[in-house]
Amino acid sequence: MTNINDFSGYNPTWCPGCGDWGIGLSIKQAFVQLGYDPSSVAVVFGIGCSGNMNDFINAYAMHSLHGRALPNAIGIKLANHNLPVVAIVGDGDCYGEGGNHLLHACRGNHDITVIVHDNSVYGLTTGQVAPTAAKGFKSKSTPSGIIEVPINPMALALINGATFVAQSFAGDMATMVSLIKAGIAHKGFSLINILQPCVTFNKINTFQYYLQRVYKLPQDYKKDDLKEALGKSLEVGQEKFPLGVLYQVERPSFTDQIDQLKDQTLVSRERFADFQNLYQDFI
Amino acid sequence: MIGGEAGFGIMTTGVVFAKIATRLGYHIFDYVEYPSLIRGGHNAYEVHVADFEIRHLKPTIDVLVCLNKETFDKHSDRLNKESIVVYDENDFKIEGDYKKVSVSFKKIVTDLKGQAVMKNTVALGASLATLGAEIDELLKVIEEQFARKGEAVVNINKQFAQAGYDSAQKKFPSPNKLLTKMTTVEPKLVLTGNEAFSLGAVIADCRLYSAYPMTPSSTVLTVLAAWQKKSKMVVRHAEDEISVINTALGASFAGVRSAVGTSGGGFALMVESVSLAGVTEMPVVIFIAQRPGPATGMPTWTEQGDLLFTVHSGHGEFPKIVFSPGTVEEMIELTGKAFNMADVYQLPVIILSDMYLSEGHKSLAKKFIDDFIANYKINRGKLVTSLKPSGKTQIYLRYKDAEDGVSERIIPGVPGYYFQANSYEHVEDGHTTEAVQPRVIQVNKRARKWKTYLQNDFRLPEYYGDSNATDVFVSWGSNKGAIMEAQKQLTEKGMKTGFWHFTHIYPMDKEKVKGLFKENIRYILVENNSWGQFGKLLLAETGVEIKEKILRYDGRPISAEYILENIKL
């Protein structure tokens, strides 16, 4: 049995009061509760304040390029589908730079868990606007206010075939831990969008802002209804933020549907040697 | 050569002809010309057949099968009065002094109630008849090809072949016996460069191939995908080239041999991640089939225009290795070596092909591949497969400083340890650093891999031709066959030449390569690009400058004739 210190690497360099502290702790707590140790889980980090968690969490990890954590995570899963694979990314990272990868990871129902730090800004590059910011959000790169309307990550995931879509809030550790555990336990693609106040560069979406606007999905909420889930995902337009699992259904994961991975992982199988069998195409 | 409208099976017909010639005991080398569209353009497939090993095309066309008028118009300049032209006089007339054989393609197809595409089978029958070959091998191929579709389909196709054969035989009763079965038939395979890479990758135990379709690399993707059930490889057609290479890197991190394939434009998208492979020291093999650029360029034609881009790909300074094979045999050997080098040196290894090598077929002895397989040893370098778990889970020094530049490596899942592969500069255990000393240690460690490679695994170019020659060609990659043929023709003209052919393109051993170039020898650089890119690389890496150049950049391959036309005698 591990404890949270087993997963603790360097001391975090996040700003005091940053939502990342709570997210980082919740991820480690979830790993402990799932019975993992640092050698039994693979984590891929994007680039950003969220990605900097690479040095603060102990695990087999890749600190990837900006936007590219998802294809790395997919590659790890294809090579060893018995290994739990978690991607820890930011909103600019996953919804901006790497947006295309998200769409296709949802379609493929790749069995990875994607935890997105959604703070509406680029923290590490000192406060430019992110794709989730509300229209009109003023930032260093959009001094007159952003012209684009925000991306809707949960709606995007839902319509592209994700089989687990959830939302949490960085100020609510208990919900985060339970959603991260549920996401990892889910067989298939899971997206957990975490509303995260950036205390340094975002003076609008603060802890107070979210505390007044988040609410927990009721106990009797039906998780397997796509239309219902889409409706919930659209509430962000009215600045209402449902917390919990918006959608969860069972569908075979990507690796479940690859014959050659039925009995063994790609990395553990014997070397193929029946080369003569391939010659016939060339005679 | 057979030509016709795109979309009507010219390609398949060409391959079948090449395979029949090989089964009859001959050697083949072929090339296909086609536009970047699916219907309506002109396709032409030429097969060079000889009773000795060949690696080049020939200037004259001995048999031209014209399924449309355009084929004749486009290629009649390569005919002479001994050339046989097979066409349908009900369709169009042709002028000129050739051995004309009219076969009523349309009528045969209509009479036998076939589809237009059946013309190809008729043409195959007719071609064999004009060359004095038996029809048996063609009938056998038809049986093999259509066996799954049942006896009725086999018989119909045989009828078309026979009708073409009979019709041509009637029109051309005493052919030169050019394609009779040879007395000894050595078993051979007919492979394109792309197929050779695919086969080489399977032999090398590549378990994951990821790609996004891009001419002329796409057939690697389709061949490996078709083999999946047999070979147990996982093949992912990802959403874009960025995802392609990052999928491969994820799989490589998790311990499987991984490769990607693309052409110049797709590789441009991958380049940031080539740098990621460099700093995280992850093995990956990158297959690039070049085509003329810039941008979309001329997708279905050939060029060697991406050499400098490839060699210098990736931001920052990190080692990589670049190979460029000259033939399908070298493609198999270097593919096997590429996977070993990627593992041994923990870095990206790039195989640089081009449309000419990637899509043209060559026959090679089955024994060559059997021997290669028997002698090929997988070398995974410093991969540690079992490690005693320590009492408490601890961090593994994945990037530990090492004399030869290569650190030991474990893969995720080994109990009792963990580490991170970090895109940031890092200390020995993978944690991020911005400090002076660890940065310098890691830069130097990575750079030492090149030194070790140059000592242990770099190969100097091969020399072909007269050892006392004072006129020496210098080239790389797929130009090999054309240059060797040019050498032969120049010898007949009384000019003895030499030829340095480079396959281990980058990095180069400065002193050793420099030592190959002597005073008072005339060196002639031959490249399929307009800048003489290898010449620039050679100058930059070794200080050797070759002033005389034969360059071609019209989308067509270097040929012996092109060299002879452009060389100053």
Which tens digit of pLDDT belongs to each residue from B425-452? 999 999 999 999 999 999 999 999 999 9
- Distance in angstroms (rounded) separating the CA atoms of residues A8 and A19: 17
What is the mean predicted confidence (pLDDT) over B536-556? 98
Closest CA to A168 of A216, A132, A129, A207: A216
B460 or B175, higher pLDDT:
B460
Question: CA of A187 to nearest chain B CA: how many angstroms apart?
Answer: 19
Q: Are residues B235 and B263 in the same domain?
A: yes
- Cβ burial of B151 (10 Å; 0-12, 13-18, 19+) is exposed
Q: Are residues B112 and B76 in the same domain?
A: yes
What is the mean predicted confidence (pLDDT) over B395-410? 98
| Contact criterion met (CB < 8 Å) for A283 and B233 | no
3-state secondary structure of A122: strand
- Distance in angstroms (rounded) separating the CA atoms of residues B42 and B30: 17
- Distance in angstroms (rounded) separating the CA atoms of residues B231 and B249: 21
List, in sequence order, every residue forming a beta bridge with B45; answer none if it has no partner: B2, B32
Is the pLDDT reported for residue B38 higher than 80?
A: no
- Binning pLDDT at 50, 70 and 90, where does residue B51 land? very high
User: Mean pLDDT lowest for which of B4-8, B103-107, B138-142, B340-344?
Assistant: B4-8
Question: CA of B528 to nearest chain A CA: how many angstroms apart?
Answer: 28
Q: Are residues B452 and B470 in the same domain?
A: no
- B176 falls within a domain: no
Is the pLDDT reported for residue B71 higher than 90?
A: yes
Closest CA to B36 of B304, B297, B306: B297
3-state secondary structure of B162: helix
Q: Which helix (H) or strand (E) holds B267?
A: helix B264-280
> Which residues of chain A make contact with B413, given a CB cutoff of 8 A?
39-40, 42, 60, 80, 82-83, 267
A47 — contact with chain B (CB < 8 Å)?
yes
List, in sequence order, every residue forming a beta bridge with B237; answer none if it has no partner: B211
Q: Are residues B12 and B135 in the same domain?
A: yes
- B178 falls within a domain: no
User: Mean pLDDT lowest for which of B141-155, B211-225, B352-366?
Assistant: B141-155
With CA atoms as reference, the chain B residue closest to A277 would be B230
Question: CA of A271 to nearest chain B CA: how many angstroms apart?
Answer: 6
Amino acid A29: pLDDT = 98
Q: Are residues B221 and B295 in the same domain?
A: yes
A104 — contact with chain B (CB < 8 Å)?
yes
Amino acid B194: pLDDT = 98
With CA atoms as reference, the chain B residue closest to A80 would be B254
Amino acid B438: pLDDT = 98
Dihedrals phi, psi of B484, to nearest 5 degrees: -65, -35
User: Terminus-to-terminus CA distance in chain A, angstroms?
Assistant: 58
Residues of chain A under the 50 pLDDT cut:
none
pLDDT in tens, B179-192: 999 998 999 999 99
- Distance in angstroms (rounded) separating the CA atoms of residues B349 and B347: 6
- Distance in angstroms (rounded) separating the CA atoms of residues B357 and B193: 5
The distance between the two most distant Cα atoms of chain B, rounded to a whole number of Å, is: 88
- B177 falls within a domain: no
Is the pLDDT reported for residue B521 higher than 80?
A: yes
Amino acid B176: pLDDT = 82
Q: Are residues B122 and B270 in the same domain?
A: no
Closest CA to B28 of B64, B66, B57: B57
pLDDT in tens, A151-167: 999 999 999 999 999 99
- B383 falls within a domain: no
What is the mean predicted confidence (pLDDT) over B256-278? 98
B394 close to B416: Cβ distance less than 8 angstroms:
yes
ipTM over 0.95: yes
- Distance in angstroms (rounded) separating the CA atoms of residues B241 and B524: 37
Q: Which domain holds residue B45?
A: 2-171
Amino acid B40: pLDDT = 76
A103 — contact with chain B (CB < 8 Å)?
yes
Dihedrals phi, psi of B353, to nearest 5 degrees: -110, -170
CATH number for position B102: 3.40.920.10
Q: Are residues B473 and B452 in the same domain?
A: no
Q: What is the DSSP string of B282-307?
A: --EEEEEEE-S-STT--TTS---TTH
Is the pLDDT reported for residue B141 higher than 80?
A: yes
CA distances from A138 to A133, A142, B204 (A): 9, 5, 54
Q: Are residues B356 and B403 in the same domain?
A: no
CA atoms within 13 A on the CB side of B109: 16
- Which of B420, B427, B429, B432 should be substituted to probe chain A, the one whose Cβ sees the most A Cβ atoms within 10 Å? B420
CA distances from B431 to A264, B43, B281, B427 (A): 32, 56, 14, 6
Q: Are residues B410 and B484 in the same domain?
A: no
Amino acid B386: pLDDT = 82
- Distance in angstroms (rounded) separating the CA atoms of residues B3 and B168: 17
Contacts of B66 (CB under 8 A, 6+ apart): B3, B4, B72, B85, B86, B87, B88, B94
Closest CA to B124 of B137, B114, B107: B137
Residue type, B218: S
Amino acid A280: pLDDT = 86
- B183 falls within a domain: no
CA atoms within 13 A on the CB side of B151: 0
- Binning pLDDT at 50, 70 and 90, where does residue B9 land? confident
- Binning pLDDT at 50, 70 and 90, where does residue B256 land? very high
A58 — contact with chain B (CB < 8 Å)?
yes
Closest CA to B458 of B375, B344, B535: B344
| Contact criterion met (CB < 8 Å) for A72 and B249 | yes
Q: Which helix (H) or strand (E) holds B286?
A: strand B284-290
Cβ within 8 Å of B, A 254-283: 258-261, 266-267, 269, 271-272, 274-275, 277-279, 281-283
> Which residues of chain A make contact with B208, given a CB cutoff of 8 A?
75, 78-79, 266
Cα angle for residues B213, B249, B318 (degrees, 5° grid)? 105
What is the mean predicted confidence (pLDDT) over B391-420? 95
Q: Which of B210, B249, B254 sits opposite A80 (nearest CB)?
A: B254
Contacts of B92 (CB under 8 A, 6+ apart): B68, B69, B72
Amino acid B392: pLDDT = 84
- Binning pLDDT at 50, 70 and 90, where does residue B155 land? very high
- Binning pLDDT at 50, 70 and 90, where does residue B78 land? very high
> Which residues of chain B make contact with A263, given a CB cutoff of 8 A?
none
3-state secondary structure of B104: coil
List, in sequence order, every residue forming a beta bridge with B312; answer none if it has no partner: none
- Distance in angstroms (rounded) separating the CA atoms of residues B533 and B525: 10
| Contact criterion met (CB < 8 Å) for B258 and A259 | no
Dihedrals phi, psi of A82, to nearest 5 degrees: -85, -10
Question: CA of A202 to nearest chain B CA: how many angstroms apart?
Answer: 26
Written as six digits, the tokens of B239 are: 């959403």
Q: Which of A61, A75, A103 sits opposite B420 (nearest CB)?
A: A61
Contacts of A262 (CB under 8 A, 6+ apart): none
A107 close to A162: Cβ distance less than 8 angstroms:
no
Count Cβ neighbours within 10 Å for each residue of B152-167 and write b for 16 or more, e otherwise: eebebbbbbbbbbbbb
- Which of A266, A270, A276 should be substituted to probe chain B, the one whose Cβ sees the most B Cβ atoms within 10 Å? A266
Q: Are residues B196 and B310 in the same domain?
A: yes
User: Terminus-to-terminus CA distance in chain B, angstroms?
Assistant: 31
CATH number for the domain whose boundaries are A4-282: 3.40.50.970
With CA atoms as reference, the chain B residue closest to A56 would be B431
Amino acid A98: pLDDT = 97
- Distance in angstroms (rounded) separating the CA atoms of residues B347 and B319: 7
What is the mean predicted confidence (pLDDT) over B364-381? 97
Q: Are residues B443 and B497 in the same domain?
A: no
- Distance in angstroms (rounded) separating the CA atoms of residues A223 and A164: 9
| Contact criterion met (CB < 8 Å) for A260 and B195 | no
Task: Say what the pTM is.
Answer: 0.97
Q: Are residues B328 and B425 in the same domain?
A: no
How many domains, in total, are found in chain B?
A: 4
Written as six digits, the tokens of B326 are: 């000259």
With CA atoms as reference, the chain B residue closest to A255 would be B234
| Contact criterion met (CB < 8 Å) for A104 and B199 | no
| Contact criterion met (CB < 8 Å) for B205 and A55 | no
Closest CA to B170 of B271, B101, B71, B246: B101
With CA atoms as reference, the chain A residue closest to B432 would be A55
Question: CA of A168 to nearest chain B CA: how many angstroms apart?
Answer: 27
Question: CA of A263 to nearest chain B CA: how many angstroms apart?
Answer: 11
Q: What is the DSSP string of B176-189?
A: --TTPPPSS---EE
| Contact criterion met (CB < 8 Å) for A79 and B232 | no
> Which residues of chain B make contact with A64, given a CB cutoff of 8 A?
246, 276, 423
| Contact criterion met (CB < 8 Å) for B205 and A68 | no
A147 close to A159: Cβ distance less than 8 angstroms:
no
Written as six digits, the tokens of B203 are: 């032999």
A44 — contact with chain B (CB < 8 Å)?
yes
- Distance in angstroms (rounded) separating the CA atoms of residues B162 and B48: 24
- Binning pLDDT at 50, 70 and 90, where does residue B390 land? confident
- Distance in angstroms (rounded) separating the CA atoms of residues B449 and B86: 58
CA distances from B189 to A199, A278, B21, B331 (A): 67, 11, 11, 14
What share of chain B in percent tops pLDDT 70? 100
- Distance in angstroms (rounded) separating the CA atoms of residues B45 and B31: 6
> Which residues of chain B make contact with A283, given a CB cutoff of 8 A?
19, 22-23, 187-190
Amino acid B112: pLDDT = 92
| Contact criterion met (CB < 8 Å) for A79 and B254 | yes
CATH number for position B466: 3.40.50.920
